[in-house]
């Protein structure tokens, strides 16, 4: 915890992209030690009605424009309401930081860590003048990423180990050499999201989900030919997806019983998003059992063995 005067001086320099020389700050593992730094909480300066909705005008904790931050350790800091525009951050640590209401536009993070950070509902995929955010070799392990928002962002060599990923729509975000471990729930990956034509398509290059638990996770328009899906007892992996689904649905139509109808309905979910060359698809057995019962799980395994 810094004295108020020092806290304010540090923020004044960071926002102005000025060096922190002369403040007698220590170092930790080669980074300047600003652990425990605080921002004032965002505040509502006025409220007004738009149609029938009550709206608030919010003053953010800090707005940082065009700054380059390097070798800083913010671990344990309270940074709610922080805004970045056209910035570059290298080798910075935000471990266990409070970062609610974080908003980022056209900013690059390289070799940074958000381990255990509270990022719920943060806007990590903001776009400014056609430029998206870039996260290169960023560690999101154990971070709370629930309901984070994206239009487009680039994730390269990032780690999502036991991150809380729930109700997340990545839209036209791209993933290369990334690792996901632990549970993902209600997460959507697209080759190209809504109005994403201006951004590179997401090809999911060398992305590893082999140690993940995929609950209601959608891969829309993706071939998944360079993706490692989980191959464990909790998942059923279907290969050559479009052709295999056609054969499965034909067999289920012939069976015609209640379980067959429920299983067919489950397999048809998001069918319009499956490209002809989709290499593989993973079905979580718990998700399937909730819809079809354990008999549906058994039936699907049996039909796949007959393929």
Same domain (yes/no): 195, 297:
no
Q: 68 and 133 share a domain?
A: yes
Residue 51 domain-assigned? no
pLDDT of residue 52: 55
For the cut 60, the answer to whether the pLDDT of residue 247 exceeds it is yes
User: Which CATH number belongs to the domain containing residue 139 in this structure?
Assistant: 2.160.20
Look at the block and give the residue holding tokens 């908003």: 103
Q: 49 in a domain, yes or no?
A: no
Count of domains for the chain: 2
Q: What is the dihedral angle through the alpha carbons of 61, 63, 67, 68, rounded to the nearest 10 degrees?
A: 30
pLDDT at 8: 87
Decide the pairing of beta strands 72-73 and 108-110.
Answer: unpaired
Question: Average pLDDT of the chain?
Answer: 92
* Cβ 94 vs Cβ 74: under 8 Å: yes
Task: Let me know whether 269 and 187 are in one domain.
Answer: no
Over the stretch 41-99, which tens digit does the pLDDT of each residue have? 754 434 444 455 444 334 446 899 999 999 999 999 999 999 999 999 999 999 999 99
Same domain, 176 and 241: no
Q: Over 70: is that where the pLDDT of 267 sits?
A: yes
Same domain, 21 and 90: yes
Query: How much is the CA Rg of the chain, to the nearest whole Å?
Result: 23
- Span 120-141, mean pLDDT? 96
Same domain, 62 and 194: yes
Q: What one-character-per-residue DSSP string does 157-183 give?
A: S-EEES-BEEEEE-TT-EEES-EEEEE
Domain residue limits at 275: 234-307
Which has the closest alpha carbon to 80: 112, 37, 142? Answer: 37
Say what the pTM is. 0.91
Q: Provide the sign of the torsion angle of the four alpha carbons 155, 119, 139, 36, taken in this order.
A: positive
Q: In what order do the strands lie in the sheet with 31-33?
A: 27-28, 31-33, 72-73
Q: Give the residue-averaged pLDDT of 299-304.
A: 94
pLDDT tens for each residue of 144-202? 999 999 999 999 999 999 999 999 999 999 999 999 999 999 999 999 998 889 999 99
d(CA 281, CA 285): 13
């Amino acid at each position: 915890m810094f004295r108020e005067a020092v806290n304010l001086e540090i923020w004044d320099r960071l926002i102005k992209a000025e060096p922190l020389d002369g403040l007698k700050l220590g170092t930790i593992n080669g980074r300047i030690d600003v652990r425990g730094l605080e921002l004032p909480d965002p505040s509502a300066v006025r409220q007004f009605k738009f149609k029938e909705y009550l709206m608030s005008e919010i003053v953010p904790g800090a707005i940082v424009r065009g700054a380059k931050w390097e070798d800083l350790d913010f671990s344990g800091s309270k940074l709610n309401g922080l805004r970045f525009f056209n910035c570059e951050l290298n080798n910075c640590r935000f471990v266990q930081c409070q970062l609610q209401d974080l908003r980022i536009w056209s900013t690059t993070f390289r070799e940074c860590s958000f381990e255990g950070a509270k990022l719920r509902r943060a806007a990590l995929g903001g776009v400014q003048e056609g430029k998206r955010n870039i996260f290169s070799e960023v560690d999101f392990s154990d971070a709370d990423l629930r309901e984070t928002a994206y239009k487009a962002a680039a994730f390269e060599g990032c780690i999502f180990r036991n991150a809380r990923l729930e109700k997340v729509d990545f839209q036209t975000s791209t993933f290369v050499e990334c690792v996901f471990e632990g549970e993902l729930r209600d997460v959507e990956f697209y080759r190209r999201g809504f109005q994403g034509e201006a951004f590179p398509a997401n090809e999911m290059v060398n992305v590893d989900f082999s140690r993940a638990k995929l609950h209601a996770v959608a891969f829309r328009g993706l071939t998944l030919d360079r993706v490692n899906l989980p191959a464990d007892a909790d998942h059923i992996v279907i290969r050559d997806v479009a052709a295999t689904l056609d054969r499965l649905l034909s067999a289920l139509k012939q069976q015609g019983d209640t379980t067959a109808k429920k299983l067919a309905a489950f397999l048809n979910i998001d069918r319009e998003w499956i490209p002809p060359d989709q290499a593989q698809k993973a079905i979580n057995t718990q998700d399937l059992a909730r819809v079809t019962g354990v008999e549906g799980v058994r039936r699907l395994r049996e039909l796949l063995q007959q393929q």
